[in-house]
Amino acid sequence: MSLWKYFRKGKILEKKQLDLLVALQDLDMMIEEISEMKRLGFSADREDELLKAREDLAAKIKKPLLYSYEKLKKRYKRAIVPVKEDNTCLGCFIRLPTSMSSIGRTDEEVIYCEGCGRILYWLT
Rule CB under 5 A: which residues touch Zn ion?
Answer: 89, 91-92, 113, 115-116
**E strand or H helix that includes residue 36:** helix 17-39
Beta partners for 112? 119
Q: Based on CB atoms, which residue is closest to Zn ion, 20 or 111?
A: 111
CB 87 within 8 A of CB 93: no
Q: Based on CB atoms, which residue is closest to Zn ion, 22 or 92?
A: 92
Q: At a CB cut-off of 8 Å and minimum separation 6, what does 34 contact?
A: 44, 46, 47, 50
Minimum gap (Å) between residue 96 Cβ and Zn ion: 8
Minimum gap (Å) between residue 112 Cβ and Zn ion: 9
The SS3 call for residue 88 is: strand
The SS3 call for residue 111 is: strand
Minimum gap (Å) between residue 94 Cβ and Zn ion: 5
Minimum gap (Å) between residue 11 Cβ and Zn ion: 30
Q: Based on CB atoms, which residue is closest to Zn ion, 58 or 90?
A: 90
Q: Based on CB atoms, which residue is closest to Zn ion, 3 or 92?
A: 92
